Structure 1
Amino acid sequence: MHDLTGFQRDLLYVIAGLNEPHGLAIKDELEEYYETEVHHGRLYPNLDTLVEKGLVEKGKIDERTNSYALTRRGRREIEARREWETQYVEL
Protein backbone atom coordinates (compact mmCIF):
# COMPACT_ATOMS: atom_id res chain seq x y z
CA MET A 1 0.00 0.00 0.00
CA HIS A 2 3.05 2.23 0.35
CA ASP A 3 3.02 2.86 -3.40
CA LEU A 4 -0.59 4.12 -3.49
CA THR A 5 -1.65 7.73 -3.52
CA GLY A 6 -3.87 9.03 -0.72
CA PHE A 7 -6.77 9.11 -3.18
CA GLN A 8 -6.23 5.46 -4.05
CA ARG A 9 -6.16 4.53 -0.35
CA ASP A 10 -9.41 6.43 0.12
CA LEU A 11 -10.91 4.44 -2.76
CA LEU A 12 -9.98 1.20 -1.00
CA TYR A 13 -11.61 2.33 2.23
CA VAL A 14 -14.79 3.44 0.46
CA ILE A 15 -15.03 0.18 -1.50
CA ALA A 16 -14.55 -1.76 1.74
CA GLY A 17 -17.33 0.18 3.43
CA LEU A 18 -20.05 0.12 0.78
CA ASN A 19 -22.56 -2.62 0.01
CA GLU A 20 -22.20 -3.53 -3.66
CA PRO A 21 -20.05 -0.52 -4.59
CA HIS A 22 -20.27 0.80 -8.12
CA GLY A 23 -18.58 3.79 -9.72
CA LEU A 24 -21.21 6.45 -9.00
CA ALA A 25 -21.74 5.29 -5.40
CA ILE A 26 -17.99 5.47 -4.81
CA LYS A 27 -17.89 8.91 -6.44
CA ASP A 28 -20.76 10.15 -4.24
CA GLU A 29 -19.05 8.96 -1.05
CA LEU A 30 -15.77 10.62 -1.98
CA GLU A 31 -17.48 13.87 -2.94
CA GLU A 32 -19.23 13.95 0.41
CA TYR A 33 -15.92 13.39 2.22
CA TYR A 34 -13.84 15.78 0.09
CA GLU A 35 -16.65 18.33 -0.14
CA THR A 36 -15.80 18.87 -3.80
CA GLU A 37 -16.50 17.23 -7.13
CA VAL A 38 -14.54 14.13 -8.07
CA HIS A 39 -14.21 14.03 -11.85
CA HIS A 40 -14.65 10.82 -13.82
CA GLY A 41 -11.19 11.39 -15.30
CA ARG A 42 -9.72 11.05 -11.83
CA LEU A 43 -11.98 8.33 -10.43
CA TYR A 44 -11.96 5.63 -13.08
CA PRO A 45 -8.24 5.60 -13.96
CA ASN A 46 -7.45 5.26 -10.25
CA LEU A 47 -9.97 2.42 -9.89
CA ASP A 48 -8.34 0.74 -12.88
CA THR A 49 -4.92 1.12 -11.22
CA LEU A 50 -6.23 -0.64 -8.11
CA VAL A 51 -7.57 -3.43 -10.31
CA GLU A 52 -4.20 -3.75 -12.09
CA LYS A 53 -2.41 -3.94 -8.72
CA GLY A 54 -4.67 -6.81 -7.65
CA LEU A 55 -6.28 -4.89 -4.79
CA VAL A 56 -9.75 -4.58 -6.33
CA GLU A 57 -11.88 -6.79 -8.56
CA LYS A 58 -13.96 -5.19 -11.27
CA GLY A 59 -17.26 -6.76 -12.25
CA LYS A 60 -20.16 -5.82 -14.45
CA ILE A 61 -23.65 -4.96 -13.19
CA ASP A 62 -24.97 -3.99 -16.64
CA GLU A 63 -23.67 -2.48 -19.88
CA ARG A 64 -22.99 0.90 -18.23
CA THR A 65 -22.26 0.03 -14.61
CA ASN A 66 -19.24 -1.70 -13.11
CA SER A 67 -19.06 -3.12 -9.62
CA TYR A 68 -15.95 -3.10 -7.46
CA ALA A 69 -14.90 -5.32 -4.57
CA LEU A 70 -11.75 -5.69 -2.54
CA THR A 71 -9.66 -8.75 -3.18
CA ARG A 72 -8.17 -10.70 -0.30
CA ARG A 73 -4.95 -8.87 -0.96
CA GLY A 74 -6.80 -5.54 -0.81
CA ARG A 75 -8.24 -6.45 2.60
CA ARG A 76 -4.81 -7.55 3.86
CA GLU A 77 -3.32 -4.26 2.69
CA ILE A 78 -5.97 -2.28 4.59
CA GLU A 79 -5.40 -4.36 7.72
CA ALA A 80 -1.64 -3.87 7.48
CA ARG A 81 -2.11 -0.13 7.01
CA ARG A 82 -4.39 0.08 10.06
CA GLU A 83 -1.83 -1.78 12.18
CA TRP A 84 0.91 0.57 11.01
CA GLU A 85 -1.26 3.63 11.77
CA THR A 86 -2.01 2.48 15.33
CA GLN A 87 1.72 2.48 16.07
CA TYR A 88 1.59 6.23 15.75
CA VAL A 89 -2.00 7.24 16.43
CA GLU A 90 -4.14 5.53 18.99
CA LEU A 91 -7.55 6.99 19.63
Structure 2
Amino acid sequence: MYDLTGFQRDLLYVVAGLDEPHGLAIKEELEDYYESEIHHGRLYPNLDTLVDKGLIDKGQRDQRTNYYTVTRRGRREIEARREWESKYVDLAE
Protein backbone atom coordinates (compact mmCIF):
# COMPACT_ATOMS: atom_id res chain seq x y z
CA MET A 1 0.00 0.00 0.00
CA TYR A 2 3.04 2.25 0.37
CA ASP A 3 2.97 2.94 -3.36
CA LEU A 4 -0.63 4.18 -3.44
CA THR A 5 -1.62 7.81 -3.46
CA GLY A 6 -3.89 9.01 -0.67
CA PHE A 7 -6.76 9.14 -3.17
CA GLN A 8 -6.15 5.53 -4.21
CA ARG A 9 -6.05 4.46 -0.57
CA ASP A 10 -9.37 6.25 0.02
CA LEU A 11 -10.84 4.46 -3.01
CA LEU A 12 -9.71 1.12 -1.60
CA TYR A 13 -11.29 1.88 1.78
CA VAL A 14 -14.59 2.94 0.18
CA VAL A 15 -14.75 -0.20 -1.97
CA ALA A 16 -14.02 -2.29 1.13
CA GLY A 17 -16.77 -0.58 3.08
CA LEU A 18 -19.55 -0.98 0.52
CA ASP A 19 -21.20 -4.08 -0.93
CA GLU A 20 -20.10 -4.36 -4.57
CA PRO A 21 -20.32 -0.63 -5.26
CA HIS A 22 -20.50 0.72 -8.78
CA GLY A 23 -18.41 3.69 -9.86
CA LEU A 24 -21.05 6.34 -9.18
CA ALA A 25 -21.63 5.05 -5.62
CA ILE A 26 -17.89 5.25 -4.96
CA LYS A 27 -17.80 8.73 -6.50
CA GLU A 28 -20.65 9.92 -4.26
CA GLU A 29 -18.99 8.57 -1.10
CA LEU A 30 -15.73 10.32 -1.94
CA GLU A 31 -17.48 13.57 -2.85
CA ASP A 32 -19.14 13.53 0.57
CA TYR A 33 -15.78 12.96 2.24
CA TYR A 34 -13.78 15.47 0.19
CA GLU A 35 -16.65 17.94 0.01
CA SER A 36 -15.87 18.56 -3.66
CA GLU A 37 -16.63 17.05 -7.03
CA ILE A 38 -14.66 14.01 -8.16
CA HIS A 39 -14.32 13.93 -11.94
CA HIS A 40 -14.67 10.69 -13.89
CA GLY A 41 -11.23 11.31 -15.39
CA ARG A 42 -9.76 11.00 -11.92
CA LEU A 43 -11.98 8.25 -10.54
CA TYR A 44 -11.87 5.53 -13.15
CA PRO A 45 -8.14 5.57 -13.99
CA ASN A 46 -7.40 5.26 -10.26
CA LEU A 47 -9.88 2.39 -9.89
CA ASP A 48 -8.14 0.71 -12.84
CA THR A 49 -4.79 1.16 -11.09
CA LEU A 50 -6.15 -0.65 -8.03
CA VAL A 51 -7.40 -3.45 -10.29
CA ASP A 52 -3.98 -3.66 -11.99
CA LYS A 53 -2.28 -3.89 -8.58
CA GLY A 54 -4.56 -6.77 -7.57
CA LEU A 55 -6.18 -4.86 -4.70
CA ILE A 56 -9.71 -4.79 -6.14
CA ASP A 57 -11.60 -6.79 -8.74
CA LYS A 58 -13.90 -5.30 -11.34
CA GLY A 59 -17.04 -7.15 -12.40
CA GLN A 60 -19.79 -6.28 -14.83
CA ARG A 61 -23.39 -5.85 -13.67
CA ASP A 62 -24.72 -5.01 -17.12
CA GLN A 63 -23.37 -3.54 -20.35
CA ARG A 64 -22.94 -0.10 -18.79
CA THR A 65 -22.28 -0.74 -15.10
CA ASN A 66 -19.22 -2.22 -13.44
CA TYR A 67 -18.95 -3.09 -9.77
CA TYR A 68 -15.90 -3.41 -7.57
CA THR A 69 -14.89 -5.74 -4.74
CA VAL A 70 -11.78 -5.87 -2.58
CA THR A 71 -9.52 -8.86 -3.14
CA ARG A 72 -7.97 -10.92 -0.38
CA ARG A 73 -4.72 -9.11 -1.06
CA GLY A 74 -6.51 -5.78 -0.76
CA ARG A 75 -7.93 -6.77 2.64
CA ARG A 76 -4.48 -7.86 3.82
CA GLU A 77 -3.04 -4.52 2.70
CA ILE A 78 -5.78 -2.61 4.55
CA GLU A 79 -5.15 -4.63 7.72
CA ALA A 80 -1.40 -4.09 7.50
CA ARG A 81 -1.95 -0.36 7.03
CA ARG A 82 -4.29 -0.19 10.04
CA GLU A 83 -1.77 -2.05 12.21
CA TRP A 84 0.98 0.34 11.11
CA GLU A 85 -1.23 3.38 11.80
CA SER A 86 -2.15 2.08 15.27
CA LYS A 87 1.53 2.14 16.24
CA TYR A 88 1.53 5.89 15.76
CA VAL A 89 -2.03 6.99 16.40
CA ASP A 90 -3.67 5.89 19.62
CA LEU A 91 -7.13 7.39 19.84
CA ALA A 92 -7.83 5.75 23.22
CA GLU A 93 -5.92 8.39 25.14
TM-score range (shorter-chain normalised) is over 0.9
Normalised to the residue count of structure 2, the TM-score between the two structures is 0.96
Q: Secondary structure at the match of 1:58?
A: strand
Instruction: Identify unmatched segments of 5+ residues in structure 2.
Output: none
Matched, 1:11 2:11: yes
In the aligned structure 2, how far is the partner of 1:23 from the partner of 1:59? 11
Shift of 1:20: 2.0
- Confirm whether residue 2 of structure 1 aligns to residue 2 of structure 2: yes
Q: Determine the C-alpha separation between the residues in 1 that align with 2:90 and 2:59.
A: 36
CA RMSD of aligned residues (A): 0.4
* Counterpart secondary structure, 1:78: helix
1:18 alignment partner AA: L
Q: Which runs of 4+ in 1 moved over 6 A?
A: none
2: CA distance between counterparts of 1:20 and 1:84? 27
Secondary structure of 2:68 counterpart: strand
Output the TM-score relative to the length of structure 1. 0.99
Q: Which amino acid aligns with 2:87?
A: Q
Aligned twin of 1:39:
39
Letter in 1 for 2:37: E
**How many equivalent pairs are there?**
91
The amino acid that maps onto 2:43 is L
Identity %: 79
What is the match of residue 53 of structure 1? Answer: 53
The equivalent of 2:83 in structure 1 is 83
